[in-house]
Structure 1
Amino acid sequence: MVTQTPPAGARNGQNGGRNGGQGAEPSARQVAGRRWRSARGVVAVILAMVLIALVLAALRPSTSPQALDPTSPKRDGGRALAEIVRQNGTPVTVARDADDAVRKSGPGTVMVVTRTERLTGEDLTRLADAQVDLLLVRPTSFALADLAPRVRRGGATFEDAADPGCSLPGAALAGPVALHEAETYEVTPSATGSVTACYKTEYGGPRVVQVQYAGKSVTVLGSASPLTNRRLTEEGNAALAMNLLAPNGGGAGSSVVWLVPDIPEEGTGAGQQSLGDLMPFGVKLFLLQLLVVVLLVALWRGRRLGPVVAEALPVVVRSAETVEGRSRLYRAGHARDRASDALRSGARERLVPLLGLPRSSAQDPSAAQEIVTAVAHRTPYDETYVGAALYGPEPLDDAGLIALSDVLDDLERQVRES
Structure 2
Amino acid sequence: MGAWIAIGVALLVVGGIGGAISAANQWAARDALDPESAGPSGTRALVEVLRSHGVDIRIERSRTAAAAALADAPATLVLPDSPALSDDAVSELVDAAIDVVMIEPRSRTLGLLLPGSAAAGVATDAAVDPGCEVAEAERSGAVAPGALYTPGPDAVGCYGVDGGSGLLVQDDGDRRIAAVDGPALFTNEHLAENGNAALAANLMGRHPLVIWYVPTAADTDLADTDPSLGQLTPPWVSPVIVLLLVAGVAAGVWRGRRFGPLVAERLPVTVRASETTEGRARLYARANDPLHAADRLRIGTLRRLAALLGLGANAAAGDISDAAAGRLGLDRATVRGILIDDIPRSDVELVALSTRLRDLEDAVHAAVRPERSTR
Scaled by the length of structure 2, the TM-score of the pair is 0.49
Scaled by the length of structure 1, the TM-score of the pair is 0.44
